[in-house]
Structure 1
Amino acid sequence: MKIDGGCHCGAVRFSAEVGQPPIPALSCNCSICSMTGFVHVIVPHADFTLEKGEDALASYRFGSGQAEHLFCRHCGIKSFYQPRSHPDAYSVNANCLDDAPRMRVSFFDGRNWEEAKQALDGGEDAE
């Protein structure tokens, strides 16, 4: 299934191929995700296309510096980014999709990142 989305002002637009609904998604309680309302849909790099706006993207790193938080320099919206949890994929914000598909949202305890990542890798729910 193809999904489309982008930032608030439309300067950044992307498309991606994801599986059939319900699409797996993660709700994270780390400082940046909880403050921005980011709901993660993980998309392998090969299945993601930045349609426009590469020049509109600004980067922000904090903590370990491994995640690259990309946001529109015009409207400030982070519609996707490079997470440290999935180095071969982008995390797309489900709240930035034009027509969000039905999703199966699981909790990711980003405030206890190492333990949550271990549970995620082990196939366990991080609830």
Structure 2
Amino acid sequence: MVKHTGGCHCGAVRFEVWNSPDLHVFHCSCSICTKKQNHHFIVPKNRFTLLQGLENLTTYTFNTHVAKHTFCKTCGVQSFYTPRSNPDGYIAPHCLDPGTVHSVTVENFCGEKWEESMQVHETIRDMS
């Protein structure tokens, strides 16, 4: 495990997350991930710390309202969010500071058929 740090574009939101330097990242095809071109990795809540910017975050939800899409009110960047698949986990891949990631393995997840995909997916459920 290594400590990764990251944040939004303007610097108002900063976080740290403990995870492997070798990231297992998901490419989801659900409607919001497709529009945002979002890739994500999942870590348990106890390995994520928001260092600053709570007051600068706003949240978007839709459909089941389980996923919490948080983003910076100033620059609009989503540094992390709470996914529907793992509501006790956090996702924060694209806003990590350089220097701590050694490799990235990308796995596709069919978010267009979310319920069906979650039933058969072998790794995502156990990541948080």
Q: Deviations over 1:4-36 (max 9, x none)?
A: 111111111111000242x21101111111111
The one-letter code of the counterpart of 1:45 is K
In structure 2, do the counterparts of structure 1 residues 123 and 18 end up closer, same or farther at CA, with 3 Å as the change threshold?
A: closer
TM-score (norm 1): 0.88
The one-letter code of the counterpart of 1:108 is F
Tell me the residue number matched to 1:6.
7
Does structure 1 residue 113 correspond to structure 2 residue 114?
yes
Tell me the residue number matched to 1:27.
27
The one-letter code of the counterpart of 1:17 is W
Runs (4+) off by over 6 Å: none
Q: Give percent identity, aligned residues only.
A: 43
Tell me the residue number matched to 2:84.
84
The one-letter code of the counterpart of 2:113 is N
- Residue 80 of structure 1: CA displacement? 0.5
Tell me the residue number matched to 1:37.
37
TM-score (norm 2): 0.88
Structure-to-structure mapping, 1:65-104, within 5 angstroms? 65-92=65-92, 94-99=93-98, 101=101, 102-104=103-105
Unaligned 5+ runs, structure 2: none
Q: Deviations over 1:50-76 (max 9, x none)?
A: 011000000110011111110101111
CA RMSD of aligned residues (A): 1.5
- Residue 123 of structure 1: CA displacement? 4.1
Q: Distance in 2 between matches of 1:12 and 1:95?
A: 14
Q: Deviations over 1:66-93 (max 9, x none)?
A: 111101011111110111100221111x
Unaligned 5+ runs, structure 1: none
